[in-house]
Amino acid sequence: MECTAPANMVAPMLRMPSEICISTLPGFVGGAKAVGRLATCARGLAADLKDSSGRLRVHSIITCKLASAIEGLERASLCELEVFRLDLSGFTGQLTKQEIERGIRQLGSSLSKASALQVLAVRLASFDTSMERIRLGVNSWEALIRCLGELSAYGRLRSLDLSSFNIKTSRATQDVSMSACPDCTGVQDEALVPSTPRGAPRKLRRAATSPTRGLSPAAAPADVSPTLSFLEALARLPSLEVLVLTYDEIFGDMAKMLPPVFQKMDKLRRVDLTRNNIPKQDMQALRAAMPRKVELCGDDLQTFYFY
């Protein structure tokens, strides 16, 4: 007996107007669940969804969960990833500072290999589980700068969104070594002092980024790795068209450093500085010093605290 079930299932769709099919069906077929179901039914499709190393060929990762973002980067083919968006702004008070810092280090390490990345957006939560303002530690910040430095070498990034990152002047101008310290992998950002017997003098451990005192320039190692600051990393992104730095606690002194950076970004079209701490006069000076083709957003939406 001939099976007519497939024909009966397709018949209602054949009677649908073509404009409805064109506008609606791609949304179902292009969804992750639909593609996953098709892949389990067709070996050829499942093979085409993976690269030679077995990673999924996806063009975008968009999520509001840190764990899924990290897992997605571990399973995705980084050479084909074009869009990465992580929005943790809705998880205020639900993540610990250690979780966020560890996640930023892992994201920075993975995204530095995304040679086709065009859109990078990371919005942090404002507060951690103890309701303390989230401020990244040294290792997490350095991982982020190294990631931007690696992405600048590919010349593909068009949009960059870093929100709630607490980018003050000291952080924006901090020199970061482009070679990661192997001893710093997986450690916490807080400085730890080893325990000593009671009454014995404590020996302080010098930070890896601190210069060694007493050495002349001639005694310094010859193979010093290159360094890069946040502002220098931005200046190395000539392909960037949109820059979003909102809720970053940027003050007027740092705002004055931005125009020379923007002058080096030939394709820059829009800058959003909403909800920072830039005084009106400094914002006006910033607007006057920026290229005319660049749209400046947020000049009337700054945050000030009066004590």
**Contacts of residue 122, Cβ cutoff 8 Å, sequence gap at least 6:** 85, 86, 88, 104, 107, 161, 162, 163, 165
Higher pLDDT, 138 or 201: 138
Helix (H) or strand (E) holding 228: strand 227-228
Question: pTM for the complete prediction?
Answer: 0.76
Query: 8-47 pLDDT, tens per residue?
Result: 655 665 666 776 666 666 666 556 666 666 666 767 766 7
Helix (H) or strand (E) holding 73: helix 66-75
Query: 231-245 pLDDT, tens per residue?
Result: 999 999 989 999 999
Q: Please provide residue 163's backbone torsions phi and psi, each rounded to the nearest 5 degrees.
A: -115, 145
Higher pLDDT, 53 or 93: 53
Is the pLDDT reported for residue 136 higher than 70? yes
Query: 3-class DSSP state for residue 291?
Result: coil
